[in-house]
Amino acid sequence: MKEIKFSLVYRDMWQSSGKYVPRKDQLEKIAPVIIEMGCFARVETNGGASEQVNLLFGENPNDAVRTFTKPFNEAGIQTHMLDRGLNGLRMNPVPADVRELMYKVKKAQGVDITRIFCGLNDVRNIIPSIQYAKAAGMIPQATMCITYSEVHTAEYYINMSEELIAAGAEEICLKDMAGIGRPVMLGQIVKAIKTSHPDIIVQYHGHSGPGFSVASMLEVAKAGVDYLDVAMEPLSWGMVHPDVITIQAMLKDAGFKVPEINMTAYMEARRLTQSFIDDFLGYFIDDRNKYMTSLLVGCGLPGGMMGSLMADLKGVHAGINSYLKENNKHELSTDELLVMLFDEVKYIWPKLGNPPLVTPFSQYVKNIALMNVMFMVKGQARWTMIDKNSWDMILGKAGKLPGKLDAEIIELAKKNKYEFFDSNPQTNYPNELPRFIAEMQEKGWDRGKDDEELFEFAMHEKQYRDFKSGEAKKRFDIELEAAIKEKLLKHNIEIPNIRLLKHPNAEPLVSPASGRVIWELDYFEGSSEPVHGKMVKEDEPICGLQTRYGLEQIGSFCTGRIVGIEKKQGEMVRKGEIIAYIEKK
């Protein structure tokens, strides 16, 4: 009788639902109850964007990680984290010395396993992390981002797994981030790995979004999988993961050996999690992420980014309908525009080389598609606006694309005089730790236990500075107040007298004309606006203004930091109104 073990993806449950994760004190409450449930051999405690998010609401992530991992370590439950290979724990590439330090720090903090993935499935970005993790004493779980296309076949993934195992991977994870991996294909991949390498641990991670994941779990179980990632109420299903109760019952009926669930503890963990939602986390959870949608089957976008997608769509929707109305054309509903966007993603994805639609590349493809739709509705050409990060992906600076670029894209790159890059991406990002060490010495900042504060500064430089200065906590308080007001207004509840903080040390950026604000759709994880907190130089373009006569760029009047956003994506602004606040440096 084959034994299947369960892993609770407690971090991902939150980050597939909304923006923030529980505080340290909340994690301390939930950990012993998760242990008491008795059904989890592993728990995902950190990684991805969670530590950046801690900094964003003014909490030290190192304290949170140590607090959450400690009870699981003592109970003999393995802890695991998510890391993005070349990008470490952030959205952009990380120097090799900072990547290497990460594994030493995380091992010291009590994290047993690191789930290493590359958003392009470029093994060159994964293999160094396998070596760094092993040197630090962590278990390297090399990860394949699962998607569905003519390029991404069972053979493609089987060959990739062989490369990773040959490089020293002790475990393989199938990361089905959008839940669009077809069950039969997933079973074929797992069976091939277990047949050739019976001692290699295989774990499956599948989001619920389009509805394949339960069938996928049964198929990979039959093929020999060892661990399945599951969630629990009130954050299971929707864009998250299947609930442990359902998966346990299905596998038990199919003849597998599975652990029993202490339902008293399950209900208590459910209650506690709901209390965290009611405390403040629920203000940042998009209701749409509670539902599954088969629309994801066609476009393949991951459920975890649906919240940001809908926010972007809302702003662009207003601009499109304003144009259509002025030109006596049929206005589009949100659903019509959403279908147009999904169709555009499906159309451009192979032209862009079929990058797996996972962070950050899902955001880049979505951004391009959204801009294409906006400009095409107005009678303008496709590819009119492509942001820098998307170009870096296209040009190969983040890694090798799985498929071939369309001739149209190659010609566009040549027209813009861009150069393609085919060497190891890490060579673009030289070591930086000495710079951070010197600055911490100069400022008198403690490098922390096991150099954890040094690591946090080097990994999340801007957010760490804001955390140390107190700016992060101040900004979060403003954001929370705004979120409470929005929720109350939505439910027609009288708004209490909430005192909103101002920006006493900043000056306003005033709109030179009337139009609709278009912020660069350059996804910055965990931020309410793409540019909030960004350092800008004098005359540097900050945003666009869609006017009657075209798109006008608005530059900064000084060198400084953007500390306040008054006009959100797609909002109308009149000439002379304030768009943002900039604090001079």
505 has a pLDDT exceeding 80: no
Q: 126-177, pLDDT tens digit by residue?
A: 999 999 999 999 999 999 999 999 999 999 999 999 999 999 999 999 999 9
Q: Kindly report the three-state secondary structure assignment for every residue of 505-542.
A: CCEEEECCCCEEEEECCCCCCCCCCCCCCCEECCCCEE
More confident residue, 125 or 322: 125
Alpha-carbon separation of residue 572 from 29, 277, 311, 315 (angstroms):
45, 32, 16, 10
Residue 218 or residue 313, greater confidence:
218
Asked if the model's pLDDT at residue 527 lies above 60, the reply is no
Q: Is the pLDDT of residue 530 over 60?
A: no
Could you tell me which residue, 396 or 571, shows the higher pLDDT? 396
Question: What pLDDT, on a 0 to 100 scale, did the predictor assign at position 181?
Answer: 96
Q: Strand 515-519: give its sheet, edge to edge.
A: 550-555, 541-547, 515-519, 572-573
Average pLDDT, the chain: 90
What pLDDT is recorded for position 405?
96
Query: Euclidean distance between the first and final Cα of the chain, in Å?
Result: 66
93: amino acid identity, one letter: P
Average pLDDT of the segment spanning 46-73:
95
In this prediction, residue 375 carries a pLDDT of 87
pLDDT at 522 over 80: no
CB burial string 486-514: b at 16+ within 10 A, e below: eeeeeeeeeeeeeeeeeeeebeebebeee
pLDDT for residue 359 is more than 60:
yes
Tell me how far apart the alpha carbons of residues 551 and 138 are, in angstroms, rounded to a whole number: 50
**Which of 183, 233, 236, 239 shows the shortest CA–CA distance to 209?**
239
Q: How confident is the model at residue 321 (pLDDT cuts 50, 70, 90)?
A: confident
pLDDT at 525: 39
Range from 303-307, 319-323, 375-379 carrying the lowest mean pLDDT? 303-307
Question: Which of 219-223, 278-282, 420-424 is modeled with the greatest confidence?
Answer: 219-223
| Per-residue pLDDT tens over the stretch 476-492 | 988 888 888 777 666 66
DSSP state string for 464-511: HHHHHHTHHHHHHHHHHHHHHHHHHHHTTPPPP-------TT-EEEE-
Relative to beta strand 78-83, strand 113-116 is parallel
Span 410-438, pLDDT tens digits: 999 999 999 999 999 999 899 999 999 99
| Confidence (pLDDT) at 58 | 93
Q: What is the pLDDT of residue 64?
A: 97
Find the mean pLDDT for residues 57-67: 96
pLDDT at 499: 41
Convert the pLDDT of each residue in 331-340 to its tens digit: 888 888 888 9
Phi-psi region of 575 (alpha: psi -120 to 50; beta: other; left: phi over 0): beta
Q: Which pLDDT does position 298 carry in this prediction?
A: 84
In the predicted model, what is the mean pLDDT of residues 365-376?
Answer: 89
Do the Cβ atoms of 220 and 187 come closer than 8 Å? yes
DSSP string, 141-164: EEEEE---SSSS-HHHHHHHHHHH
